Structure formats: C-alpha cells, structure tokens
Amino acid sequence: MIELADSRLRVLAPMTIANARALLGAGQACLRSAQPGGVSELDLSAVDEVDSAALSLIFAWLRSAAARGLTLRVLNPPASLSSLAELYGVSELLPVS
C-alpha cells in the first residue's frame, strides 16, 4: 500500500474513500519511523485513482510529519489530484515539488 525507502514514501494504491483508513494508518506508521528533522517525500507516481479523500490523507500526513519535525513534499501528483485541489481552493497548501 505504501513503501518507505530512504526519505521517500511511495503510495501504491488508489487514494479513495474505500481505502482511506488503511492508507492513513500506513502513512502515519511510516512517518513515525522516519528520522526527526529529515525531509520526506510523498511520491504519488503510482497512484492512478483519487477522490477527495486523497486531499484529506495528504493533509493528515502533512500534520503528522510536522509533529515529528519532518518536512513532507508531494512528488508526481496525478492531474486529477491537482484538479481537485484547485476545485477546493487548497492547491497553494500542497507542498508540490
């Protein structure tokens, strides 16, 4: 569901309401194991399906990362996620690299 390699979290599953709870827990577990003060990347290149739950997941992971002193950047967001963020007026809140 989520791979952790070095400082990169790679999401491998659809980011939808159907599996949001499992993704949330998996992402938070990965963030808990990351080194404090490091930089983490959230790689979404393998994500092929998103809904509004994806934004909630990302913002929850951002909060969890900040609580651990981590900076989380979003890499390779799918176009549909960018469209949702624009629609909801939160695109400027996503730290996209």
Q: According to the model, what pLDDT value does residue 79 have?
A: 96
**Tens of pLDDT along 65-86?**
999 889 899 999 999 999 999 9
Reported as type and span, the H/E element at residue 83 is: helix 79-88
Three-state SS string over 14-56 comes to CECHHHHHHHHHHHHHHHHHCCCCCEEEEECCCCCCECHHHHH
- Which domains can be identified in the chain, with CATH numbers? 2-93 (3.30.750.24)
Each residue's pLDDT tens digit, 6-51: 788 999 999 999 999 999 999 999 998 887 767 689 999 999 999 9
